[in-house]
Chain A
Amino acid sequence: MLKKILLLIFLVFSVSLFSQGNDSIIFLENQNPFLDFKLTGSDIPNDGGGGIQINWCFPDSLGNWFLTVLRRDDSNNIMVVATDLLVSSMQVRDVSSDEEPSRVKDNSNYYYTGILSKNMISEEFLNRLISNGSGYSKNGVYIFGNDTFYVTGETDPIVSKSSWFNLSRIPVLVSLIIIAFVFLYYLNLAKSGKDLYIRKINGLDAVEEAVGRSTEMGKPIMYILGIGYVTDIPTIAGLTILGRVAKKVADYETRILVPSYDPVVMTTAQEVVKEAFTEAGRPDLYNKNDIMYITQDQFGYAAGVDGMMMREKPGAVFLQGLFFAESLILAETGHSIGAIQISGTTETAQLPFFVAACDYTLIGEEMMAASVYLQKEPMMLGSIAAEDLLKVFIMFLIITGFVLSVLGYGLKIEVLKNVFDWLIKLLQV
């Protein structure tokens, strides 16, 4: 019996010894052939902190090797930043994210080391290497199983900082200031009583006709704001046009229906219509229930509005705001009930359908200028003139770019080539 137990202990012992021997880590000192391979790190500039970028250069022979990057902090905690990066990628970013908000803390020291390997790193090796903190040797070579791993030297302490100004956005800041001045200049000009012109916009001259015809037929007007939120500019533009249209509706003493997709849009639309009716001197005609909520489901909204069109049979349908796939469902139904349709959106993918299905379509900027056109207040006209001046500037820039490119690259005039490259760089925000 004792013999058997001894034999068993011997067996277990030898097996465990054998298995441990097979994947033990062998350390070789002073034999690292890649001492020139170094990591460098720096704070990522122009960010809100919590980010360090690590770079490295590599000899061609290491191009398809793998690199694992480790981070150490002042209290010797070791973290794996990334495993098995291709050496040829030359860069990795260690950044705090939503999942790990405090991965890299600002204003603390971090030290980075890399592990080079020909094959992907074994997880077991990595775990065992860092299991006793920072005790592994820098610039050492480890053999584990059939693989050899080369640990690089450690970087100097790197500190992540949060910037107070994003330097890469200077071109935007400069143009913002210039544009602010252009706007202010025109607003002042308008204030001083200078007459400003606005060209004819077909769809908007039809507003009066559309509202008038609906009234004659005893039909309501329907105003659809699409499926945007109040934070979307097209929706805001749609709401401002709604104000002008509602005023005409009040003048004609007819009804306006505004089925809404977003509850905040509905609430805002109620304010807009109420204000317009009050301004027109007919607050008594305002009915809160005509500006109703449908649903926040895109096609549920389309189904609901379609049904409402079929039953209320509006004489005029306005589609002004942010539209996606439901655009044509709404516009075709509106057409089928014989309503005059005036549409407008900034979604270039939906504009073709509006053009095909509606009587008038406001394209992009026309829609955003529509509220100005319908009101024609000097200050508002001033802002439109400012937009136009900026257009001239943009055209000038594009033409200059084209000429520079032809002369610089086509006719190989070195100076102009450089100017063109500089211009291109400036535009890359």
Chain B
Amino acid sequence: MLKGKGIPIFITFLVGMIMIISFFIPHKPFGDIEKISLNWYSIIAGFTMLLGVDSLIGMHFRKVKRKDENWFFSLVLIFGFVATVVVGIVETVRFGTAFDDKSYFTYIYNYFIVPLQATMFSLLAFFIASAAYRAFRARNFDATLLLITAIIVMLGRVPLGEQISPYLPKFTEWIMQVPQMAAKRGIGLGISLGALGVSIRIILGIERSYLS
């Protein structure tokens, strides 16, 4: 019986209903249910993380073993993973917590992870330019409208815009406050209705593709 979809669908229904009802009941334990369930999610995710690591490290381990293309880089990945975990354990023993200011674990975070993250993030400066260029070449009404508004708003927010015309920053403000806000609200209303639809389809078991 457990092998069928019946029990999981019932669990989804039951948990979903409890969550909805608890919105109206401030009394314990219902009042804290959102906090509790997010807490539980992170516990479940914490255990599932091992499945993730098994998936990722396993894949790269196989690549190294088979000497696939790029196997050397897979080795780098495994090395990075193992080294970080080992440093984490050693520094926990040394300082009581790996997150100590003087621990090498913190160094790894500050000098490997942070610059890599920041640089990946800054790639957007180039990608945003190439995306804008593409919109410029698209030559259809929607893309042109998008691009023109983008240029106006961009200029309206820098000192150059003020020099071109003192009305430009004001017009930008108006675009943000009126047409932009209108569409954003319309999309927002659609999203909340859509989210209701998705939730109801899943809670009632109409949509069950997430279970095999």
Direct A–B contact present (CB less than 8 angstroms):
yes
Q: Closest A residue to B184 by CB, please name it.
A: A348
| Other-chain contact of A325, B20, B55, B121 (Cβ < 8 Å) | B121
| Other-chain contact of B121, A172, A183, A299 (Cβ < 8 Å) | A299
A422 within 8 A of B: no
A-B contact pairs, 15 of them (CB 8 A): A48-B31, A166-B25, A169-B23, A176-B20, A236-B202, A243-B209, A263-B45, A293-B51, A299-B117, A325-B121, A329-B127, A356-B135, A371-B207, A383-B201, A387-B197
A348 touching B188 by the CB < 8 A rule? yes
Q: Closest A residue to B180 by CB, please name it.
A: A348
CA distance A85 to B25 in the complex (A): 32
4 further interface pairs, Cβ-Cβ under 8 Å (given A276-B209, A328-B131): A236-B198, A271-B211, A346-B191, A346-B195
Tally of contact residues, A, Cβ under 8 A: 85
**What is the interface of chain B, defined by CB distance below 8 A to chain A?**
20, 23-28, 30-32, 37-38, 41, 44-45, 48-53, 55-56, 58-59, 69-70, 113, 116-117, 120-121, 123-124, 127-128, 130-132, 134-135, 142-143, 146, 150, 184, 187-191, 193-202, 204, 206-207, 209-212
CA distance A386 to B204 in the complex (A): 15
Given contacts A231-B41, A264-B44, A383-B200, is CB(A240)–CB(B209) below 8 Å?
Answer: yes
Distance to closest chain A CB from B75 (angstroms) = 15
Q: Closest B residue to A371 by CB, please name it.
A: B207
A272 touching B51 by the CB < 8 A rule? no
B131 touching A275 by the CB < 8 A rule? no
Q: Per DSSP, are chain A's interface residues mostly helix, strand or loop, or mixed?
A: helix
A387: B residues at CB distance < 8 A: 193-194, 196-197
A368 touching B198 by the CB < 8 A rule? yes
CA distance A305 to B202 in the complex (A): 29
A163 touching B26 by the CB < 8 A rule? yes
B130 touching A332 by the CB < 8 A rule? yes
A134 within 8 A of B: no
B194: A residues at CB distance < 8 A: 237, 346, 364-365, 367-369, 387
Distance to closest chain B CB from A291 (angstroms) = 8
CA distance A225 to B49 in the complex (A): 17
A325: B residues at CB distance < 8 A: 121, 124
| Other-chain contact of B24, A166, A328, A355 (Cβ < 8 Å) | A166
CA distance A326 to B120 in the complex (A): 9
B146: A residues at CB distance < 8 A: 352, 355-356
Q: Closest A residue to B37 by CB, please name it.
A: A231
How many residue pairs bridge A and B at CB < 8 Å?
Answer: 203
| Other-chain contact of A49, B28, B124, B204 (Cβ < 8 Å) | B28
Give 1 or 0 for each of A168-199: 1 = CB within 8 Å of chain B CB: 01001100100100010001000000000000
Q: Closest A residue to B211 by CB, please name it.
A: A271
Distance to closest chain A CB from B211 (angstroms) = 6
A267 within 8 A of B: yes
| Other-chain contact of A173, B24, B143, B193, B199 (Cβ < 8 Å) | B24
Q: Closest A residue to B35 by CB, please name it.
A: A98
Distance to closest chain A CB from B35 (angstroms) = 9
CA distance A365 to B195 in the complex (A): 8
Among A46, A48, A230, A369, residue most surrounded by chain B Cβ atoms (within 10 Å): A48
B197 touching A368 by the CB < 8 A rule? yes
CA distance A394 to B113 in the complex (A): 47
A165 within 8 A of B: yes
A264 touching B27 by the CB < 8 A rule? no
CA distance A331 to B128 in the complex (A): 11
B55: A residues at CB distance < 8 A: 266, 289, 292-293
A58 within 8 A of B: no
Q: Closest B residue to A336 by CB, please name it.
A: B130
Q: Closest A residue to B45 by CB, please name it.
A: A264
B31: A residues at CB distance < 8 A: 47-48, 162
| Other-chain contact of A272, B30, B120, B200, B212 (Cβ < 8 Å) | B212
Given contacts A46-B26, A229-B45, A236-B202, is CB(A302)–CB(B120) below 8 Å?
Answer: yes
